[in-house]
Protein backbone atom coordinates (compact mmCIF):
# COMPACT_ATOMS: atom_id res chain seq x y z
CA UNK A 1 0.00 0.00 0.00
CA UNK A 2 1.02 3.60 -0.58
CA UNK A 3 1.56 5.88 2.37
CA UNK A 4 1.08 9.59 2.06
CA UNK A 5 1.44 12.66 4.20
CA UNK A 6 -0.10 16.12 4.07
CA UNK A 7 1.22 19.33 5.52
CA UNK A 8 -0.83 22.47 5.44
CA UNK A 9 -2.75 25.31 6.93
CA UNK A 10 -5.43 24.48 9.49
CA UNK A 11 -8.86 26.05 9.62
CA UNK A 12 -10.93 26.69 12.69
CA UNK A 13 -12.44 23.58 14.29
CA UNK A 14 -15.02 22.14 11.93
CA UNK A 15 -14.87 18.37 12.19
CA UNK A 16 -16.47 15.89 14.51
CA UNK A 17 -15.98 16.79 18.16
CA UNK A 18 -14.34 20.05 17.09
CA UNK A 19 -11.42 18.44 15.32
CA UNK A 20 -9.63 20.91 13.02
CA UNK A 21 -9.88 20.41 9.27
CA UNK A 22 -7.36 21.17 6.56
CA UNK A 23 -8.21 24.31 4.60
CA UNK A 24 -8.64 24.17 0.80
CA UNK A 25 -5.36 26.06 0.47
CA UNK A 26 -3.51 23.04 1.80
CA UNK A 27 0.09 22.62 0.71
CA UNK A 28 0.65 19.01 -0.16
CA UNK A 29 3.88 17.04 0.05
CA UNK A 30 3.79 13.76 -1.80
CA UNK A 31 5.67 10.68 -0.68
CA UNK A 32 5.39 7.32 -2.38
CA UNK A 33 6.52 3.72 -1.99
CA UNK A 34 7.71 4.03 1.57
CA UNK A 35 6.12 4.07 5.08
CA UNK A 36 6.04 7.79 5.79
CA UNK A 37 6.08 8.33 9.56
CA UNK A 38 3.93 11.30 10.46
CA UNK A 39 4.81 11.69 14.13
CA UNK A 40 6.42 9.67 16.93
CA UNK A 41 3.72 8.94 19.54
CA UNK A 42 3.67 7.37 22.96
CA UNK A 43 1.31 4.45 23.58
CA UNK A 44 -0.99 6.83 25.51
CA UNK A 45 -1.56 8.86 22.35
CA UNK A 46 -3.06 5.83 20.72
CA UNK A 47 -5.66 5.22 23.40
CA UNK A 48 -7.84 8.33 23.24
CA UNK A 49 -11.41 7.10 22.72
CA UNK A 50 -10.01 4.30 20.59
CA UNK A 51 -9.30 6.77 17.79
CA UNK A 52 -5.93 7.37 16.19
CA UNK A 53 -4.80 10.92 15.51
CA UNK A 54 -2.98 12.41 12.56
CA UNK A 55 -0.77 15.32 13.57
CA UNK A 56 -0.23 18.33 11.33
CA UNK A 57 2.44 20.85 12.16
CA UNK A 58 2.56 24.62 11.59
CA UNK A 59 5.88 26.14 10.43
CA UNK A 60 6.47 27.34 14.00
CA UNK A 61 6.42 23.79 15.28
CA UNK A 62 3.01 23.71 16.98
CA UNK A 63 1.09 20.49 16.25
CA UNK A 64 -2.65 20.00 15.88
CA UNK A 65 -4.52 16.69 16.07
CA UNK A 66 -6.70 15.48 13.23
CA UNK A 67 -8.75 12.32 13.59
CA UNK A 68 -7.59 9.62 11.24
CA UNK A 69 -10.20 9.49 8.46
CA UNK A 70 -11.78 6.17 7.51
CA UNK A 71 -9.60 5.99 4.41
CA UNK A 72 -6.55 5.40 6.62
CA UNK A 73 -5.70 2.69 9.08
CA UNK A 74 -3.35 2.79 12.04
CA UNK A 75 -0.08 0.88 12.10
CA UNK A 76 2.86 0.73 14.46
CA UNK A 77 6.21 -0.60 13.33
CA UNK A 78 8.66 -2.69 15.36
CA UNK A 79 10.34 0.47 16.62
CA UNK A 80 7.13 1.82 18.11
CA UNK A 81 6.69 4.49 15.43
CA UNK A 82 3.08 5.18 14.54
CA UNK A 83 2.15 5.80 10.94
CA UNK A 84 -0.97 5.91 8.77
CA UNK A 85 -1.73 3.50 5.95
CA UNK A 86 -4.13 3.98 3.08
CA UNK A 87 -7.19 1.69 2.92
CA UNK A 88 -9.88 1.69 0.26
CA UNK A 89 -13.21 3.39 1.15
CA UNK A 90 -16.22 1.08 1.48
CA UNK A 91 -19.82 1.24 2.56
CA UNK A 92 -18.71 0.73 6.15
CA UNK A 93 -15.83 3.22 5.80
CA UNK A 94 -17.06 6.06 3.58
CA UNK A 95 -14.82 8.90 2.55
CA UNK A 96 -15.51 11.80 4.98
CA UNK A 97 -16.60 15.17 3.62
CA UNK A 98 -16.67 18.30 5.73
CA UNK A 99 -18.90 21.19 4.50
CA UNK A 100 -16.96 23.80 2.57
CA UNK A 101 -13.76 21.75 2.64
CA UNK A 102 -12.17 19.21 0.34
CA UNK A 103 -12.80 15.49 0.49
CA UNK A 104 -9.80 14.26 2.48
CA UNK A 105 -9.64 10.76 1.02
CA UNK A 106 -10.36 11.97 -2.49
CA UNK A 107 -7.36 14.28 -2.32
CA UNK A 108 -5.25 11.40 -1.05
CA UNK A 109 -6.43 9.29 -3.97
CA UNK A 110 -5.30 12.02 -6.39
CA UNK A 111 -1.91 12.03 -4.72
CA UNK A 112 -1.32 8.34 -5.39
CA UNK A 113 1.45 7.98 -7.91
CA UNK A 114 1.25 5.98 -11.13
CA UNK A 115 5.04 5.61 -10.92
CA UNK A 116 4.62 2.77 -8.43
CA UNK A 117 2.42 0.71 -10.73
CA UNK A 118 4.87 0.55 -13.63
CA UNK A 119 6.64 -2.55 -14.93
CA UNK A 120 10.36 -2.76 -14.22
CA UNK A 121 12.19 -1.57 -16.16
CA UNK A 122 9.81 0.94 -17.73
CA UNK A 123 10.16 3.01 -20.88
CA UNK A 124 9.46 6.70 -21.54
CA UNK A 125 8.99 8.72 -24.70
CA UNK A 126 11.21 11.76 -24.09
CA UNK A 127 9.85 15.31 -24.15
CA UNK A 128 10.88 16.92 -27.43
CA UNK A 129 10.01 20.44 -28.45
CA UNK A 130 7.86 20.64 -31.60
CA UNK A 131 7.90 16.83 -31.78
CA UNK A 132 6.07 15.03 -28.96
CA UNK A 133 2.73 16.75 -29.39
CA UNK A 134 -0.62 14.94 -29.19
CA UNK A 135 -0.32 13.99 -32.88
CA UNK A 136 3.09 12.33 -32.80
CA UNK A 137 2.44 10.65 -29.46
CA UNK A 138 -0.50 8.84 -31.04
CA UNK A 139 1.66 7.77 -33.98
CA UNK A 140 4.24 6.30 -31.60
CA UNK A 141 1.46 4.59 -29.64
CA UNK A 142 0.19 2.99 -32.84
CA UNK A 143 3.68 1.78 -33.78
CA UNK A 144 4.92 0.55 -30.39
CA UNK A 145 3.82 2.34 -27.21
CA UNK A 146 6.16 3.26 -24.33
CA UNK A 147 5.05 2.91 -20.72
CA UNK A 148 4.96 6.69 -20.08
CA UNK A 149 4.39 9.72 -22.30
CA UNK A 150 5.87 13.18 -21.74
CA UNK A 151 4.64 16.35 -23.42
CA UNK A 152 6.71 18.96 -25.16
CA UNK A 153 8.13 21.26 -22.53
CA UNK A 154 5.91 24.19 -21.54
CA UNK A 155 7.13 27.51 -20.18
CA UNK A 156 5.39 28.37 -16.92
CA UNK A 157 5.95 32.12 -17.06
CA UNK A 158 4.73 32.36 -20.64
CA UNK A 159 1.55 30.53 -19.76
CA UNK A 160 1.02 32.47 -16.51
CA UNK A 161 1.13 35.80 -18.35
CA UNK A 162 -0.37 35.00 -21.75
CA UNK A 163 -2.35 31.80 -21.33
CA UNK A 164 -2.88 29.21 -24.04
CA UNK A 165 -1.68 31.42 -26.88
CA UNK A 166 1.79 31.38 -25.33
CA UNK A 167 2.13 27.60 -25.34
CA UNK A 168 0.77 26.72 -28.78
CA UNK A 169 -1.09 23.52 -28.02
CA UNK A 170 1.72 21.95 -26.00
CA UNK A 171 -0.67 20.70 -23.33
CA UNK A 172 -3.34 19.24 -25.62
CA UNK A 173 -3.88 15.59 -24.69
CA UNK A 174 -6.51 12.89 -24.91
CA UNK A 175 -7.98 10.57 -22.30
CA UNK A 176 -6.46 7.49 -23.90
CA UNK A 177 -2.92 8.76 -23.20
CA UNK A 178 -1.96 7.28 -19.85
CA UNK A 179 0.11 7.80 -17.87
CA UNK A 180 0.68 11.30 -19.19
CA UNK A 181 3.28 13.65 -17.69
CA UNK A 182 3.40 17.38 -18.37
CA UNK A 183 6.93 18.69 -18.60
CA UNK A 184 7.22 22.31 -17.50
CA UNK A 185 10.10 24.72 -17.09
CA UNK A 186 10.85 28.17 -15.77
CA UNK A 187 12.62 30.22 -13.13
CA UNK A 188 9.67 31.68 -11.22
CA UNK A 189 8.33 29.31 -8.54
CA UNK A 190 5.01 31.15 -8.42
CA UNK A 191 4.47 30.57 -12.12
CA UNK A 192 5.51 26.93 -11.75
CA UNK A 193 2.85 26.49 -9.07
CA UNK A 194 0.16 28.02 -11.28
CA UNK A 195 1.02 25.88 -14.29
CA UNK A 196 1.26 22.71 -12.20
CA UNK A 197 -2.22 23.38 -10.82
CA UNK A 198 -3.47 23.93 -14.37
CA UNK A 199 -1.94 20.64 -15.49
CA UNK A 200 -3.67 18.89 -12.60
CA UNK A 201 -6.99 20.37 -13.71
CA UNK A 202 -6.33 19.14 -17.25
CA UNK A 203 -6.03 15.60 -15.94
CA UNK A 204 -2.29 15.02 -16.15
CA UNK A 205 -0.88 12.21 -14.04
CA UNK A 206 2.38 13.89 -13.11
CA UNK A 207 4.61 16.94 -13.43
CA UNK A 208 8.19 16.81 -14.68
CA UNK A 209 10.47 19.82 -14.40
CA UNK A 210 12.98 20.41 -17.18
CA UNK A 211 16.35 21.28 -15.65
CA UNK A 212 18.49 20.21 -18.56
CA UNK A 213 17.61 22.04 -21.75
CA UNK A 214 20.73 23.78 -23.11
CA UNK A 215 18.92 26.08 -25.57
CA UNK A 216 19.73 29.78 -25.13
CA UNK A 217 16.05 30.69 -24.88
CA UNK A 218 15.59 28.26 -21.97
CA UNK A 219 18.84 29.02 -20.14
CA UNK A 220 17.75 32.64 -19.69
CA UNK A 221 15.13 31.65 -17.14
CA UNK A 222 15.23 27.92 -16.53
CA UNK A 223 16.28 24.67 -18.16
CA UNK A 224 19.92 23.84 -17.51
CA UNK A 225 20.43 27.26 -15.89
CA UNK A 226 18.97 25.77 -12.71
CA UNK A 227 22.03 23.55 -12.43
CA UNK A 228 23.86 26.72 -11.38
CA UNK A 229 20.99 27.83 -9.13
CA UNK A 230 20.32 24.83 -6.89
CA UNK A 231 18.23 26.75 -4.36
CA UNK A 232 15.96 28.05 -7.09
CA UNK A 233 15.70 24.50 -8.41
CA UNK A 234 14.53 23.35 -4.97
CA UNK A 235 11.97 26.17 -4.85
CA UNK A 236 10.64 25.20 -8.28
CA UNK A 237 10.19 21.60 -7.15
CA UNK A 238 8.41 22.64 -3.96
CA UNK A 239 6.12 24.96 -5.95
CA UNK A 240 5.19 22.23 -8.42
CA UNK A 241 4.34 19.83 -5.58
CA UNK A 242 1.54 22.15 -4.46
CA UNK A 243 -0.66 20.73 -7.23
CA UNK A 244 -0.61 17.37 -5.46
CA UNK A 245 0.70 15.45 -8.46
CA UNK A 246 3.89 13.38 -8.29
CA UNK A 247 6.82 15.59 -9.28
CA UNK A 248 9.87 14.37 -11.17
CA UNK A 249 12.90 16.11 -12.66
CA UNK A 250 14.83 15.67 -15.90
CA UNK A 251 18.33 17.10 -15.91
CA UNK A 252 21.92 16.67 -17.10
CA UNK A 253 25.13 15.68 -15.37
CA UNK A 254 26.24 19.26 -14.94
CA UNK A 255 26.55 22.60 -16.63
CA UNK A 256 30.14 22.72 -17.84
CA UNK A 257 32.05 19.78 -16.38
CA UNK A 258 31.14 16.14 -16.02
CA UNK A 259 32.50 16.05 -12.46
CA UNK A 260 29.71 18.40 -11.35
CA UNK A 261 27.28 15.48 -11.39
CA UNK A 262 27.72 14.27 -7.80
CA UNK A 263 26.87 17.51 -5.99
CA UNK A 264 24.10 18.46 -8.39
CA UNK A 265 22.32 15.10 -8.43
CA UNK A 266 22.71 14.74 -4.67
CA UNK A 267 20.94 18.08 -4.25
CA UNK A 268 18.04 16.95 -6.43
CA UNK A 269 17.76 13.61 -4.65
CA UNK A 270 17.29 15.46 -1.36
CA UNK A 271 14.16 17.19 -2.71
CA UNK A 272 11.91 14.13 -2.28
CA UNK A 273 11.05 13.75 -5.97
CA UNK A 274 9.40 10.62 -7.26
CA UNK A 275 11.70 10.14 -10.26
CA UNK A 276 14.97 11.55 -11.54
CA UNK A 277 15.81 11.29 -15.23
CA UNK A 278 19.41 12.00 -16.17
CA UNK A 279 20.57 12.86 -19.65
CA UNK A 280 24.09 11.53 -19.34
CA UNK A 281 25.83 14.59 -20.75
CA UNK A 282 26.49 18.14 -19.56
CA UNK A 283 24.85 21.28 -20.85
CA UNK A 284 28.09 22.25 -22.57
CA UNK A 285 28.39 18.87 -24.28
CA UNK A 286 24.90 19.20 -25.80
CA UNK A 287 24.73 15.92 -27.76
CA UNK A 288 28.09 16.31 -29.45
CA UNK A 289 29.84 13.58 -27.47
CA UNK A 290 28.77 10.05 -26.51
CA UNK A 291 26.59 9.82 -23.41
CA UNK A 292 28.52 8.95 -20.25
CA UNK A 293 27.09 5.49 -19.67
CA UNK A 294 30.18 4.67 -17.63
CA UNK A 295 28.79 6.82 -14.77
CA UNK A 296 25.51 4.95 -14.40
CA UNK A 297 26.69 2.58 -11.64
CA UNK A 298 28.05 5.46 -9.54
CA UNK A 299 24.82 7.41 -9.97
CA UNK A 300 22.82 4.40 -8.81
CA UNK A 301 25.02 4.16 -5.71
CA UNK A 302 24.44 7.85 -4.96
CA UNK A 303 20.69 7.43 -5.32
CA UNK A 304 20.73 4.38 -3.04
CA UNK A 305 22.65 6.34 -0.42
CA UNK A 306 20.52 9.51 -0.41
CA UNK A 307 17.03 8.62 -1.64
CA UNK A 308 16.56 4.92 -2.33
CA UNK A 309 12.83 5.45 -2.85
CA UNK A 310 13.41 7.83 -5.80
CA UNK A 311 13.17 6.10 -9.16
CA UNK A 312 16.07 6.53 -11.58
CA UNK A 313 15.81 6.82 -15.37
CA UNK A 314 18.70 7.03 -17.82
CA UNK A 315 18.65 8.97 -21.09
CA UNK A 316 21.10 9.63 -23.89
CA UNK A 317 22.17 7.51 -26.88
CA UNK A 318 19.52 4.87 -26.16
CA UNK A 319 18.14 3.66 -29.48
CA UNK A 320 15.66 0.87 -28.72
CA UNK A 321 13.89 -1.02 -25.95
CA UNK A 322 16.45 -3.82 -26.30
CA UNK A 323 19.30 -1.33 -25.90
CA UNK A 324 17.70 0.33 -22.86
CA UNK A 325 17.00 -2.95 -21.13
CA UNK A 326 20.54 -4.16 -21.82
CA UNK A 327 21.97 -1.05 -20.15
CA UNK A 328 19.78 -1.65 -17.11
CA UNK A 329 20.83 -5.28 -16.94
CA UNK A 330 24.43 -4.06 -16.86
CA UNK A 331 23.57 -1.47 -14.19
CA UNK A 332 21.18 -2.95 -11.61
CA UNK A 333 19.20 -0.34 -9.73
CA UNK A 334 18.16 1.74 -12.73
CA UNK A 335 14.37 1.71 -12.96
CA UNK A 336 13.73 2.88 -16.49
CA UNK A 337 15.07 4.34 -19.70
CA UNK A 338 14.00 7.24 -21.90
CA UNK A 339 14.25 7.35 -25.69
CA UNK A 340 14.27 10.64 -27.56
CA UNK A 341 16.03 10.86 -30.89
CA UNK A 342 15.88 7.09 -31.24
CA UNK A 343 12.24 7.42 -32.26
CA UNK A 344 13.40 9.44 -35.27
CA UNK A 345 15.72 6.63 -36.22
CA UNK A 346 12.97 4.04 -35.76
CA UNK A 347 9.32 4.75 -34.85
CA UNK A 348 9.10 1.14 -33.62
CA UNK A 349 11.91 1.64 -31.09
CA UNK A 350 9.67 0.74 -28.13
CA UNK A 351 8.67 -2.62 -29.63
CA UNK A 352 9.18 -5.51 -27.22
CA UNK A 353 10.83 -7.53 -29.96
CA UNK A 354 13.13 -6.26 -32.67
CA UNK A 355 11.01 -5.94 -35.81
CA UNK A 356 13.86 -5.74 -38.30
CA UNK A 357 17.64 -5.76 -38.36
CA UNK A 358 19.90 -3.40 -40.23
CA UNK A 359 20.11 -4.35 -43.87
CA UNK A 360 23.39 -5.78 -45.20
CA UNK A 361 24.06 -2.51 -46.96
CA UNK A 362 23.87 -0.44 -43.80
CA UNK A 363 25.47 -0.30 -40.41
CA UNK A 364 25.02 1.59 -37.18
CA UNK A 365 27.49 4.15 -38.46
CA UNK A 366 25.47 5.15 -41.52
CA UNK A 367 24.65 4.05 -45.04
CA UNK A 368 26.41 2.35 -47.89
CA UNK A 369 28.00 4.90 -50.25
CA UNK A 370 26.39 2.99 -53.11
CA UNK A 371 22.85 3.35 -51.78
CA UNK A 372 22.02 7.05 -51.90
CA UNK A 373 18.30 6.35 -51.64
CA UNK A 374 18.83 5.24 -48.05
CA UNK A 375 20.64 8.37 -46.93
CA UNK A 376 18.96 10.63 -44.43
CA UNK A 377 20.40 14.16 -44.29
CA UNK A 378 21.88 15.74 -41.20
CA UNK A 379 19.23 18.08 -39.87
CA UNK A 380 18.37 19.97 -36.73
CA UNK A 381 15.82 18.12 -34.64
CA UNK A 382 14.73 18.45 -31.03
CA UNK A 383 16.58 16.36 -28.50
CA UNK A 384 15.29 14.68 -25.37
CA UNK A 385 15.25 17.94 -23.43
CA UNK A 386 13.25 19.76 -26.07
CA UNK A 387 16.12 21.60 -27.74
CA UNK A 388 17.40 21.63 -31.28
CA UNK A 389 20.66 19.83 -31.98
CA UNK A 390 22.31 18.42 -35.09
CA UNK A 391 21.20 14.88 -35.83
CA UNK A 392 22.61 11.99 -37.80
CA UNK A 393 19.83 9.52 -38.50
CA UNK A 394 20.73 5.86 -38.13
CA UNK A 395 18.91 3.64 -40.67
CA UNK A 396 16.76 0.83 -39.39
CA UNK A 397 14.73 -0.59 -42.29
CA UNK A 398 11.06 -1.40 -41.94
CA UNK A 399 8.70 -2.60 -44.56
CA UNK A 400 7.74 0.24 -46.87
CA UNK A 401 4.04 -0.32 -46.34
CA UNK A 402 4.30 -0.06 -42.55
CA UNK A 403 6.16 3.23 -42.67
CA UNK A 404 3.82 4.74 -45.25
CA UNK A 405 0.81 3.65 -43.18
CA UNK A 406 2.30 5.49 -40.19
CA UNK A 407 2.77 8.59 -42.33
CA UNK A 408 -0.86 8.41 -43.45
CA UNK A 409 -1.91 8.13 -39.81
CA UNK A 410 0.24 11.14 -38.96
CA UNK A 411 -1.46 13.16 -41.72
CA UNK A 412 -4.93 12.20 -40.48
CA UNK A 413 -4.09 13.08 -36.88
CA UNK A 414 -2.54 16.38 -37.93
CA UNK A 415 -5.82 17.34 -39.59
CA UNK A 416 -7.88 16.00 -36.67
CA UNK A 417 -6.14 18.13 -34.05
CA UNK A 418 -5.42 21.20 -36.15
CA UNK A 419 -8.31 23.14 -34.62
CA UNK A 420 -6.64 22.75 -31.21
CA UNK A 421 -2.99 22.92 -32.22
CA UNK A 422 -3.06 25.68 -34.84
CA UNK A 423 0.31 24.63 -36.23
CA UNK A 424 1.33 25.45 -39.80
CA UNK A 425 1.69 22.66 -42.34
CA UNK A 426 5.41 23.37 -42.64
CA UNK A 427 5.95 21.95 -39.14
CA UNK A 428 4.78 18.57 -40.41
CA UNK A 429 7.62 18.26 -42.91
CA UNK A 430 10.24 17.55 -40.24
CA UNK A 431 8.61 14.15 -39.74
CA UNK A 432 8.85 12.97 -43.35
CA UNK A 433 12.35 11.59 -42.83
CA UNK A 434 10.99 9.15 -40.24
CA UNK A 435 8.72 7.42 -42.70
CA UNK A 436 10.30 7.97 -46.11
CA UNK A 437 13.48 5.96 -45.83
CA UNK A 438 15.15 2.63 -46.35
CA UNK A 439 13.52 1.81 -49.68
CA UNK A 440 14.39 2.48 -53.30
CA UNK A 441 13.58 6.03 -54.33
CA UNK A 442 13.11 7.28 -50.77
CA UNK A 443 15.42 10.27 -51.21
CA UNK A 444 13.61 11.51 -54.33
CA UNK A 445 10.21 10.99 -52.72
CA UNK A 446 11.22 12.98 -49.66
CA UNK A 447 12.37 15.81 -51.87
CA UNK A 448 9.00 15.82 -53.63
CA UNK A 449 7.06 15.83 -50.36
CA UNK A 450 9.12 18.73 -49.04
CA UNK A 451 7.59 20.88 -51.79
CA UNK A 452 3.99 20.08 -50.88
CA UNK A 453 1.63 22.63 -49.33
CA UNK A 454 -1.09 20.56 -47.68
CA UNK A 455 -1.85 17.16 -46.21
CA UNK A 456 -4.15 16.42 -49.16
CA UNK A 457 -1.29 17.04 -51.57
CA UNK A 458 0.90 14.62 -49.62
CA UNK A 459 -1.85 11.99 -49.74
CA UNK A 460 -2.22 12.38 -53.51
CA UNK A 461 1.49 11.69 -54.00
CA UNK A 462 1.43 8.68 -51.67
CA UNK A 463 -1.54 7.24 -53.54
CA UNK A 464 0.52 7.14 -56.74
CA UNK A 465 3.09 4.80 -55.18
CA UNK A 466 3.06 1.11 -55.90
For 177-231, write each residue's pLDDT tens digit.
Answer: 999 999 999 989 999 999 999 999 999 999 999 998 867 767 677 888 899 999 9
Q: Cβ distance 132 to 339 under 8 Å? A: no
User: At which of 299, 324, 356 does a domain end?
Assistant: 356
When pLDDT is cut at 50, 70 and 90, the band that residue 54 belongs to is: very low
Give percent helix, percent strand, percent coil of the chain, each to the nearest 5: 35, 20, 45
pLDDT at 466: 64
Has residue 12 got a pLDDT over 60?
no
Of the pLDDT bands very low, low, confident and very high (cuts 50, 70, 90), residue 59 is: very low
Q: Is residue 205 part of a domain?
A: yes
Q: What mean pLDDT do residues 295-319 have? A: 96
Give tens-digit pLDDT for 173-192: 999 999 999 999 998 999 99
**Same domain, residue pair 118 and 59:** no
Residues 388 and 419 in one domain: yes
pLDDT of residue 224: 83
Give me the pLDDT at residue 391, please: 41
Closest CA to 273 of 355, 343, 337, 206: 206
pLDDT at 355: 56
In this structure, the answer to whether residues 238 and 102 fall within a common structural domain is no
Residue 34 banded pLDDT, cuts 50, 70, 90: very low
Q: Name the domain boundary from 80, 106, 132.
A: 106
Give the model's confidence band at 78: pLDDT under 50 very low, under 70 low, under 90 confident, else very high.
low
DSSP symbols for 249-277: EEEES-SS-GGGHHHHHHHHHTT--SEEE
| Count of C-beta atoms within a 10 Å radius of residue 89 | 16
Instruction: Check whether 426 has a pLDDT greater than 70.
Output: yes
The answer to whether the peptide bond before residue 121 is cis (omega within 30 degrees of 0) is yes
Average the pLDDT over each of 8-12, 141-145, 152-156 and give the range with the smallest value.
Answer: 8-12
Question: Stretch 313-328: mean pLDDT, rounded?
Answer: 96
Q: Are residues 249 and 350 in the same domain?
A: yes
pLDDT, mean of residues 58-73 = 41
For the chain, the average pLDDT equals: 75
Average pLDDT over residues 114-133: 94
Residue 227 lies in a domain: yes
83 and 208 both lie in a single domain:
no
Tell me: do 187 and 245 sit in the same domain: yes
Largest CA distance in the chain: 85
Q: Is 213 a catalytic residue?
A: yes
Would you state the pLDDT for residue 27?
Answer: 32
pLDDT for 431 beyond 60: yes
More confident residue, 4 or 181: 181
Model confidence at 5: pLDDT above 50:
no
pLDDT at position 76 is 45
- Taking residues 55-68, report their average pLDDT: 39
Please pick, among 199, 213, 349, 387, the residue that the annotation labels catalytic.
213
pLDDT given for residue 457 in this prediction:
98
Q: Residue 82 and residue 41: Cα distance in Å, rounded? A: 6
Q: Cα-flanking dihedrals φ and ψ of residue 290, to 5°?
A: -60, 145
197 domain residue, yes or no: yes
pLDDT band of residue 329 (cuts 50, 70, 90) is very high
CA–CA distance, 23 with 9 (Å, rounded to integer) = 6
Please state the domain count of the chain: 3
**Dist. CA 151–CA 140, nearest whole Å:** 13
Confidence of residue 77 (pLDDT cuts 50, 70, 90): very low
Shared domain for 282 and 323, answered yes or no, is: yes
- Inside any domain, residue 364: no
Is residue 329 situated within a structural domain?
Answer: yes
Q: What is the per-residue pLDDT for 287? A: 83
Q: What is the pLDDT of residues 438-457, one digit of tens each?
A: 888 999 999 999 999 999 99
The answer on 385 and 352 residing in a single domain is: no
Question: Is 369 within the bounds of a domain?
Answer: no
Which residues are bridge partners to 67 per DSSP?
Answer: 53
Looking at the structure, tell me whether residues 426 and 308 fall in a common domain. Answer: no
Spatial separation of the C-alpha atoms in residues 219 and 47, rounded to whole Å: 55
Q: Is residue 370 part of a domain?
A: no
Residue that terminates a domain, selected from 71, 106, 141:
106
In a domain, 427, yes or no: yes
Residues 163 and 226 in one domain: yes
pLDDT score, position 215 = 73
- pLDDT confidence of residue 260: 95
pLDDT over 90 at 293, yes or no: yes
Spatial contact of 124 and 146, defined as CB atoms under 8 Å apart: yes
Same domain? For 162 and 246 the reply is: yes
Residue 92: pLDDT over 90: no
Higher pLDDT, 89 or 254: 254
| Neighbouring residues of 446: CB distance < 8 A, sequence distance ≥ 6 | 432, 433, 436, 437
Q: Does 128 lie in the same domain as 94?
A: no
Question: What is the span of the domain harbouring residue 51?
Answer: 5-106
Task: Give me the CATH number covering residue 121.
Answer: 3.20.20.70
Q: What is the pLDDT of residues 353-390, one digit of tens each?
A: 765 543 333 333 233 223 333 333 333 444 443 444 33
Report cis status (omega within 30 of 0) of the bond before 179.
yes
Mean local confidence (pLDDT), 25-44: 32
Higher pLDDT, 160 or 362: 160
Amino acid sequence: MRLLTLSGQLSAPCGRDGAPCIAPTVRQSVGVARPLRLERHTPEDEAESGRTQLHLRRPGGETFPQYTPPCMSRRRDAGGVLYRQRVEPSSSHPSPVYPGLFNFCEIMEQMKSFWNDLPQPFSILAPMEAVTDVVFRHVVAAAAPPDIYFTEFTNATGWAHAGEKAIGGRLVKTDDEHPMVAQIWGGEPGDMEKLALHCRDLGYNGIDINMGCPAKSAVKSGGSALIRQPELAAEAIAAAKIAGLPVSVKTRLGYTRVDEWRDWLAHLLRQDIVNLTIHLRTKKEMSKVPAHHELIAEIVALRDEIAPETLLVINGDIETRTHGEALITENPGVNGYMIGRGVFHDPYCFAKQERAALSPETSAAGTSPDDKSREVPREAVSDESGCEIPQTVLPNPKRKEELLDLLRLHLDLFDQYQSQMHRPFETLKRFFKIYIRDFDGASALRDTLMHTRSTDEVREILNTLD
